[in-house]
Structures are given as structure tokens and as C-alpha cells.
Amino acid sequence: MSKFTLMVIGAATASFLATGGHSLLPGITRYVQANVSPSCRIKGNVSINSGERIYHVPGQLFYEETKISQQYGERWFCSEADARAAGWRRARQ
């Protein structure tokens, strides 16, 4: 990869994370989604019933079953502090 390519991928990653999974560069969202840091394992889920934003951490009761659907505004977080700062609350289980 060229230096320019790395810069574009870095910019796409930053925009992907900053916008909750919506890339500012068309066509690169799937690539970036597959390459989000493995340390970003907190799942930001939007409740179907209430629209409430809830995050799940590894080990919680419904963590494995929770799927991230970007079209509904769901996203990954790298820390609980990031999730809370974005207005999400921790799952109760």
C-alpha cells in the first residue's frame, strides 16, 4: 500500500468510528467495519421497543446474541466511557 492509501484508510476509520459507522467515503464502510480494532468490543444496541440506546460488554447475558445493525444507528465502542459520553447506558444484565 502506498502512503496515500494508508492515509485514506486511516481517515475512513476515523470517520467510521466518529459517525457511528457511517463512512464519509462511499464504498469503504464494509472494509473499515471488518477492520475495527479488536479492542472495540462493546456493542451499542438500539432497543426495538423503546429506541433506548444500550451498550453490552463481553460476558453480559445478551452480549453474544446482540447484533450490530448500522442502519438502525447501532455501533461499536472501544470503552464504556466512550459509550456513556455518546449517550448510551449499560445493559442491566
Beta strands 42-46 and 53-56 are antiparallel
Check residue 93 and give its pLDDT: 83
pTM of the model: 0.61
More confident residue, 39 or 13: 39
Could you tell me if 30 and 52 lie in one domain? Answer: no
Domain hosting 31: range is 1-36
For the residues 8-22, what does the mean pLDDT come to? 45
Give the model's confidence band at 82: pLDDT under 50 very low, under 70 low, under 90 confident, else very high. very high
Do 20 and 58 fall within a single domain? no
pLDDT in tens, 23-71: 444 444 444 445 567 789 999 999 999 999 999 999 999 999 999 999 9
Distance CA 45, CA 54 (A): 5
57 in the same domain as 87: yes
How many distinct structural domains can be found in the chain? 2
Q: Which of 15, 36, 14 is nearest to 24 (CA)?
A: 15
Amino acid at 39: S
Strand order in the sheet with 53-56: 75-77, 42-46, 53-56, 89-90
